[in-house]
Amino acid sequence: MAKKLTRSQLISKKREDVLAMFREFLDGLGEEVLRESGNALVFPSTDDEGNELFVKVAVSIPRGGRDGEAYDGYAVAEDYKLHQEETALKREQRAKENAERAAKAKERQEAAKAKKEAEAAKRAEFLAKKEAEGK
């Protein structure tokens, strides 16, 4: 009779199976795959500028909270999607606010420039009048 595996043993076996799938896939792509730890593989690569770096692929099988509630990947994925949407909305809002601030700043700069030019013209007119009176 076969010995029944514990939950931890079943999870460890599944993690090993998934790591083996990743290793086989990466080997098929010609990558040099190294085992970094019990749940991670690494392989050397380069970025767009030719700098060397390592890519790490870690496999974890979440079990859930300490309160006994099982991990729900669908709920976590939905939360992440909502978070991404909120972040995008906030980014758009900030961009809109920044554009409004930039437009107001440009208006202030143009008004200040116009005021300065008007004062310079007034000063030039005054000096020309003084010079004409002095002759």
Q: Which two tokens stand for residue 11?
A: 């999870």
Q: What angle do CA 47, 53, 54 make, to 5 degrees?
A: 120
* pLDDT score, position 1: 59
* pLDDT score, position 67: 84
Kindly report the backbone phi and psi dihedral angles of residue 3, in degrees, each rounded to the nearest multiple of 5, phi listed first. Answer: -75, 135
Residue 131 above 80 pLDDT?
yes
43-69: pLDDT as tens digits:
999 999 999 999 999 999 888 888 888
* pLDDT score, position 65: 81
Q: In whole angstroms, give the CA distance from residue 91 to residue 87.
A: 6
Radius of gyration of the chain measured on its C-alpha atoms: 34
